Amino acid sequence: MSLPPLPSQDPLTLLMEKAEVPERKRHCPHCDTKVTRTKGFCGQCGQEYNFEPSLKTGDIVNGKFEIKGPVAFGGLGWIYLGWDKVLNRWVVMKGLLNTKDEAAAAAAVAERQFLAAVKHPKIVGIYDFVNNGNEGYIVMEYVGGKAVGSILKEKGVLPVEEAVSYILGILPAFSYLHANGFVYCDFKPENFMVEGEDVKLIDMGGVRKIGDPSGDIYGTRGYMAPEASDDPVEVSDLYTLGRSLAVLIMDFKYMKEYESSLPTPAEQPVLAENESLYRFLLRATHQDPDQRFQSADEMADQLYGVLREIVALKTEPKPAESQTFTSDNLFDADDVAGAEQVDVRLLPTLKMDVRDPAANELLRMAAVSNPEKRVAALEYVADKFGEKSPEARLRLANAYLGVKKFSDADKLLDQLHAEDQFDWRVSWYRGKSLIARNDGRGARIEFGKVYFEMPGEIAPKLAIAYAAEIAGDYEEAARYYKRVAKVDPNQTTACFGLARCLNKKMDINGAMEALTAVPAQHSLFNQARIALAKLLLHDEKGLNESLLEKAAETIESISAEGGVVHHLAGRLLASTVSLIAGGRVKEDRNAQLLGHQMHPFALRKGAEEEFRKAAHFAESHLEKIGWIDMANAIRPRTLL
């Protein structure tokens, strides 16, 4: 992940030409009534207000900070650019309080001293807290970049990849704040900056301690989580990150019509084009805090997966190991059935939750391959740990599926759901259970729940494709298979599944392209080439010279030895004989096909040899007789 670099700029260029708060932003700080003058007394509540900067160019604060002028007006007052005359560095000074009481100003500064402990490379540095008469200020590091909000105003909505990269870049700052007991409260595009090739969180004036009943709460309409006005917590911050990402990629009325919701994909093409991103935003900005991402790290992990998919669909595969799922389980080179049909055993496996109290005992059971013995062993562990170990019972439910004890699995999963309705793993195993019973529609619903929770993961999308194919919805199945195969073609069940679905839709070229996506180093490469050769030869009437050459090239690329390979070679040579006889392919003694001259005698002899070789691999006497009959039927006729 890289961010578009921005050139550094002269700090003095940030100074406001006219230090004046726009009239539309003038509201009484006490009762929020709109006022027109820059200072005076509110006609509604009678309290004094003042929107004029109290510090002038050249003022010296605390004996060392020389004021250069205002750069912005924020929620807490004016923000100034200053020069530290002692340490010779630029600083930014942000007002904490504007009051007639110097003691109150000193108290306000003291209350914010905890910010001095906040030190992170992606968070603006806090240098000092100072008083100047009846006002208090935070003295902060000057960040020589540009606010993302300013970039948005200049360029309009941002490319999805750029916007996602900005949010991904700032998430570690929130992980740090939350781990240290703080919430930021008022995140929005204006409050983080691009500096060089990185982003940095600025404006720490609204930061507060989690669970602190005292102090003001700051937020911005259109960004603020519904619960944040009473008690902002970690997920309240994550809500603001989701809303900010939405604002960066879409032009919509986020402060009015969509203050508490998102546009639909039908309204915003960017959401229709990036389904996983839309799913991510739905969860990030859910009105129920329990439905959102529960940590900045979890949010970052899923958003990174979403970005990988977005980039891969436009460029080239971007495989990466998941922290939650294994790859699919199609890795046996001889697993012909797995390549030819949907099979629940091939779905990715959920990785072990190592924090579970039964994790060590469960890991030791990996060596138990007998399904019945595995069930018995897991029943023992599940009974031993009881409700303390969800992992043991989830693994037991999965083992029940392996021996077709579906009612036992359902009962166990229902019990787990009753204990924790937010454990999406229950939906994963329910989906597997329904796949095993060929209920594609039911499985689609369960896997959809997993997709909501894990929008950056490949596994739920692959599972949805399985379910759709079983349900006969080849259009949807192909769409999800294609997405998975584009991101990571090592998930070969996606490549084979896509080929099957496109073949059902009579898109033979698309099916062949799907099979060619299987990586050459993968154990299923030969199976993919065999399937490709079968597709090329499936309709002799449609064969031409180009397809013959491609079929020959495909067969020659198969490194495995077996009857099916010799059968395909024999079919190709025999089909070419028919094409020459029908005048659709020219006889050419100077050309070769699979090492045989392109004339009927040589091609017949080659086909005979291939069918006889196939007979050596026959698994039954009847099959062997069939190959020999084919060899005899195609062999060249002579006078002797």
Please check the confidence at residue 383 and state whether its pLDDT lies above 90.
Answer: yes
Q: Count of alpha carbons within 13 Å of 267, Cβ hemisphere only?
A: 10
**Spatial CA neighbour of 410 closest among 437, 441, 440, 450:** 437
Q: What is the pLDDT of residues 404-414, one digit of tens each?
A: 999 999 999 99
Residue 563: Cβ within 10 Å count: 18
User: What is the Cα–Cα distance from 28 to 188, expressed in whole angstroms?
Assistant: 23
Phi, psi at residue 194, to the nearest 5°?
-90, 120
Residue 555 — pLDDT band, cuts 50, 70, 90? very high
Instruction: Please confirm, yes or no, whether 186 is among the known catalytic residues.
Output: yes
User: What pLDDT score was predicted for residue 1?
Assistant: 58
Q: Is the pLDDT of residue 271 over 60?
A: yes
Q: Does residue 111 register a pLDDT over 60? A: no
The full DSSP string for 616-631 is HT-SSHHHHHHHHHHH
Say if residue 426's pLDDT is above 60. yes
Report whether pLDDT(250) > 70.
yes
Q: Which amino acid is at 164?
A: V
Q: What is the pLDDT of residue 559?
A: 87
Domains of the chain plus CATH, in order, are 11-141 (3.30.200.20), 147-314 (1.10.510.10), 537-640 (1.25.40.10)
Taking residues 265-281, report their average pLDDT.
97
Element containing residue 608 per DSSP (H, E): helix 600-616
Please give the pLDDT value at position 133.
80
**Mean of pLDDT values over 119-140:** 88
Helix (H) / strand (E) element for 136: namely strand 135-141
Share of the chain above pLDDT 70, in %: 95
* pLDDT grade for 420, boundaries at 50, 70 and 90: very high
Q: Give yes or no for residue 9 having a pLDDT over 80.
A: no
Query: Is the Cβ–Cβ distance between 345 and 463 less than 8 Å?
Result: no
**pLDDT at residue 28 is higher than 80:** yes
The single residue of 10, 186, 198, 629 carrying the catalytic annotation is 186
Q: Is the per-residue pLDDT at 7 higher than 70?
A: no
When pLDDT is averaged across residues 240-267 and rounded to a whole number, the result is: 97
Q: What b/e sequence results for 128-147 when a residue is b if at least 16 CB atoms lie within 10 Å of its CB, and e otherwise? A: bbbbbebbbbbbbbbbbbbb
| Predicted pLDDT at 31 | 86
* Structure confidence by residue, pLDDT tens digits, 205-235: 788 899 888 777 888 999 999 999 888 999 9
Average pLDDT over residues 68-80: 84
Quick: pLDDT tens for 343-362. Answer: 999 999 999 999 999 999 99
Shortest CA distance to 307 belongs to which of 293, 318, 316, 294? 318
pTM of the model as a whole: 0.88
Confidence (pLDDT) at 108: 55
What's the rounded Cα separation, in Å, for the pair 368 and 345?
16
Per the CB < 8 A criterion, the answer to whether 410 and 393 are in contact is no
Interatomic CA distance for residues 94 and 72, integer angstroms: 10
- pLDDT surpassing 60 at residue 155: yes
